[in-house]
């Protein structure tokens, strides 16, 4: 059976990934990117990034953390880009 892919707006992907980035936990971010990849044809992502499909699955699963170049390449194919902004300070909770 052929898997069908549902189109997803880059803004929706950005919102989901930004929530993961707020955690500042590499594995949380990688799992979120992995979930975002469910909306795409991995063979096409692999072709466009120059990576092997198995490398993409490993990088955004729980097996290992990806190289930064892998993250950048995949985000680019997903129609996203990374930016650096000052971290918002969290308000201290009253005691």
Query: What are the extents of the domains in the chain?
Result: 11-77
Alpha helices in 1-95 (DSSP H): 10-22, 26-37, 42-49, 53-59, 68-77
Residue 56 contacts residue 40 (beta carbons within 8 Å)? no
The pTM of the full predicted model, rounded to 2 decimals, is 0.82
pLDDT at residue 61 in the model: 86
Beta carbons within 8 Å of 28's beta carbon, 6+ residues apart = 20
Mean pLDDT by 10 residues, the chain (95 residues): 67 92 93 94 95 93 90 94 82 62
The CATH number of the structural domain formed by 11-77 is 1.10.260
Q: What is the Cα gyration radius of the chain?
A: 15
């Amino acid at each position: 059976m052929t898997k069908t892919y549902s189109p997803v707006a880059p803004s929706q992907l950005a919102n989901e990934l930004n929530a993961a980035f707020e955690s500042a936990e590499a594995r949380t971010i990688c799992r979120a990117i992995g979930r975002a990849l469910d909306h795409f044809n991995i063979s096409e992502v692999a072709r466009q990034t120059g990576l092997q499909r198995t490398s993409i699955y490993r990088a955004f699963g729980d097996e290992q953390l990806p190289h930064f170049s892998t993250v950048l390449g995949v985000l680019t194919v997903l129609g996203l880009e990374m930016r650096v902004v000052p971290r918002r300070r969290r308000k201290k909770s009253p005691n």
